[in-house]
Structure 1
Amino acid sequence: MKRQIIDTIERFDKIILHRHVRPDPDAYGSQIGLKELLALNYPSKKIFATGTHEPTLDFMARPDQVTDEDFSNALIIVTDTANTERIDDQRYTLGKHLIKIDHHPNDDAYGDLLWVDTTASSVSEMICNLFEEGSAYKDWKMNKSIARLLFAGIVGDTGRFMFQSTSLKTMEYAGKLLTYGFDRTELFNGMYEVDRSLLHLKGYIYENFSMDENGVGSIKLTREILRKYGVAESEASLLVSALADVKGMKCWVFFIEDSETIRVRLRSKGPVINGVAKKYGGGGHPLASGASVRTWDEADLVIEDLRKL
């Protein structure tokens, strides 16, 4: 499959890369990391990364401005996106050929070529694997900027190598990326330094979360609370792992209200929770998933489903 992907890439003069809405470091790492990798090795091709920019990822990169005309006869590559509804920039349908590269469960098998590896810690790790194949097959090269993006994606999706998805192969790829000599201190500052307002909200979470006798935790962050602390919904989502260190916590849910819906962020230390996410129109990994609900009554049903689980 990797060689089929490389052969397909070589056939197209224009390539547009997509990723999921509300991106995280792996979304940017895999999408823009792959864009830079292809641009380095195929300088004559026109290659774009599209999607709405996430300001909290300024330290990584910014996507491109892409016109409708750019999609004509273009190869579309979508990274880190399990289903078509979550693809950022729905113009992906305007391209000529579609490749899906992902590590989530393949519930929506879209695309002309699909490379899905649920054992990979991140799609950034899969791009390292693709580079390894490209290096042997077509003498691909990598540089410091690409390595930095892919490393950030791996670190982000493994929780700094703490999640169970971290494998020996993950660590081997991370070690190889470090040999390119990018500034790790600068990168980690970008990933983990936060404004005081976010720290104050974190304090609110620690004081107000609930946990029942079964180890199910929850916190509800309404629009009023977010306004009080001056924190955007996308920034509040960065705190979803805050309850991971609570003794006795087995799984937990963050509810984050925005102008249209209530975002549901599910995390677990053991119980498989993506079935709950799917029930509410979402999905994701067995231990890290997301969905959306419309009302706080529906949010209470999510908590009840976690208790039953």
Structure 2
Amino acid sequence: MKRQIIDTIESYDKIIIHRHVRPDPDAYGSQIGLKELIALNYPDKKVWATGTHESTLDFLAKPDSVSDEDFKDALVIVTDTANTERIDDSRYKLGSFLIKIDHHPNEDAYGDLLWVNTEASSVSEMICELYEEAKEYKGWELDASIARLLYAGIVGDTGRFMFQSTTEQTMFYAGKLLSYGFDRTTLFNEMYEVESNMLQLKGYIYANFEMENGVGHMKLTKELLNKYQVAESEASLLVSALSDVKGMKCWVFFIEDEKEIRVRLRSKGPIINEVAKKYGGGGHPLAAGATAYSWEEADRVIEDLKKAVN
């Protein structure tokens, strides 16, 4: 499969890479890391990364401006996106060939060529694996800037190597990336340092979250976010705040924006992606997301989590 992907990349002069909406470090790491990897090894190809930019990821990279004309006769690759509804930039349909590279359960098997590995910690790890194959197969090279992007993606999706998804292979590739000598200290500061208002909101979460029978929940309303001057995308970064609570089996954050309520689910054991799917979302067994459209619906998510624990 990896060699088929490499051969397909070689056969196209134009390549456009997509990822999911509301990107995280693995979305950027895999998407833009792959873009830069292809551009480095095929300097005559035109390679773009498309999608709405997330300002909290300024320190990693920014996507490109891509015209409709660019999609004509182009290879389209989508990374880190389980289903078509979550692909950022619906123009992915305009390309001539579509490749899916993902590590979520393959319940939406879209694309002409699919490489899905649910055992991988992140799609950034999968891009490392693709590079190792291409290095042997076609003599590909990798530089420090690409290594930094892929490392950030792995770190982000493994919770700094603390999640169960971290494997021996994950650490092997992380070690290889570190050998390229990018500034790891600065990268970690950029990923995890927060403004004081975020810490104050985190304090509010610790003081006000609710837990019943091992199921925790936190509702972050628009009024609350405005009070602490925290954007919805920033608030999503705090979902792991309850992971250290003793007795917590799974938990959910509800983050209200102008049109809907983002649902962020996490678990220490109970399978919660089935709950996410019930509300139009999905994800991993222990980390998933969905959308609610009222606080009554949010309450139903909590009740479904309780059933999942039982």
TM-score class, shorter-chain normalisation, is: over 0.9
1:87-236 → structure 2 map (5 Å cutoff):
87-212=87-212, 214-236=213-235
What does residue 6 of structure 1 align with? 6
Q: How far, CA to CA, are the matches of 1:3 and 1:184 in structure 2? A: 31
Letter in 2 for 1:308: K
Q: Matched residue of 2:22: which SS?
A: coil
What does residue 293 of structure 2 align with? 294
Once superposed, what is the RMSD of the aligned Cα atoms? 0.4
What does residue 27 of structure 1 align with? 27
Deviation at 1:182, TM superposition (A): 0.1
Q: Does 1:248 align with 2:217?
A: no
Q: How far, CA to CA, are the matches of 2:177 and 2:192 in structure 1? A: 20
Q: How far, CA to CA, are the matches of 1:279 and 1:65 in structure 2? A: 35
Q: Matched residue of 2:125: which SS?
A: helix
Q: Matched residue of 2:218: which SS?
A: strand
What does residue 284 of structure 2 align with? 285
Q: Matched residue of 1:100: which SS?
A: strand
What does residue 78 of structure 1 align with? 78
Q: How far, CA to CA, are the matches of 2:196 and 2:89 in structure 1? A: 33
Deviation at 1:308, TM superposition (A): 1.1
Structure 1 gap ranges (5+): none
Q: How far, CA to CA, are the matches of 1:202 and 1:68 in structure 2? A: 42
Q: Which digits, 9 at most, give the CA deviation of each residue in 1:158-198, with x for residues without a partner? A: 00000000000000000000000000011001100111111
Q: Matched residue of 1:161: which SS?
A: coil
Q: How far, CA to CA, are the matches of 1:152 and 1:88 in structure 2? A: 20
What does residue 43 of structure 1 align with? 43
TM-score normalized by structure 1?
A: 0.99
What does residue 18 of structure 2 align with? 18
What does residue 238 of structure 2 align with? 239
Letter in 2 for 1:22: R
Single out whichever of 130-139 and 195-204 deviates more from structure 2: 195-204
Q: How far, CA to CA, are the matches of 2:280 and 2:67 in structure 1? A: 31
Q: How far, CA to CA, are the matches of 2:220 and 2:167 in structure 1? A: 34
Letter in 1 for 2:276: A
Q: Matched residue of 1:20: which SS?
A: coil
Q: How far, CA to CA, are the matches of 2:32 and 2:305 in structure 1? A: 35
Structure 2 gap ranges (5+): none
Size of the alignment, in residue pairs?
308
Q: How far, CA to CA, are the matches of 1:284 and 1:218 in structure 2? A: 19
TM-score normalized by structure 2?
A: 0.99
Q: Which digits, 9 at most, give the CA deviation of each residue in 1:266-289, with x for residues without a partner? A: 000000100000000100000000
Deviation at 1:136, TM superposition (A): 0.4
Q: Which digits, 9 at most, give the CA deviation of each residue in 1:249-282, with x for residues without a partner? A: 0000000000000000000000010000000010
Letter in 2 for 1:263: R
Q: Matched residue of 2:164: which SS?
A: coil
Q: How far, CA to CA, are the matches of 1:73 and 1:266 in structure 2? A: 39
